[in-house]
């Protein structure tokens, strides 16, 4: 994979920064869930193109929720700055 060609989201860029990444991971675990969900929905849903049907919108919402659950599994938000490096490894 050509790392330079990845269209990273703002949160991915921030988490990859040496001092900002650990701070943001820590901060995201202390913020109310609603605030984190709004940010996560915005970032994650940006990977989909325009949604034209109700079924596609439902699928997008299900996928977004599944990704958020996986990110939170076993305290995953605490180490998000470490796991984001997978982009460089791919």
Per-residue pLDDT tens for 3-20? 666 777 888 888 888 899
How far apart CA 14 and CA 22 sit, in angstroms, is 10
Mean pLDDT score across all residues of the chain: 83
Domain that holds residue 74: 3-89
- The pLDDT, as a whole number, for residue 2 is 65
Number of domains comprising the chain: 1
Average pLDDT over residues 46-68: 87
- The pLDDT, as a whole number, for residue 5 is 67
- pTM (two decimals): 0.71
Average pLDDT over residues 44-69: 86
The answer to whether residue 71 scores a pLDDT higher than 60 is yes
Whether the CA torsion 27, 29, 32, 35 is positive or negative: it is positive
Tell me how many degrees the CA angle 38-39-42 measures, rounded to the nearest 5: 85
């Amino acid at each position: 994979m050509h790392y330079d060609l990845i269209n990273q989201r703002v949160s991915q860029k921030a988490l990859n920064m040496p001092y900002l990444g650990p701070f943001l991971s820590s901060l995201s675990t202390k913020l109310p869930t609603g605030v984190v969900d709004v940010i996560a929905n915005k970032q994650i849903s940006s990977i989909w193109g325009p949604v034209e049907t109700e079924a596609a919108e439902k699928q997008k919402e299900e996928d977004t929720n599944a990704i958020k659950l996986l990110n939170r599994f076993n305290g995953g938000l605490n180490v998000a700055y470490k796991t984001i490096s997978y982009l460089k490894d791919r």
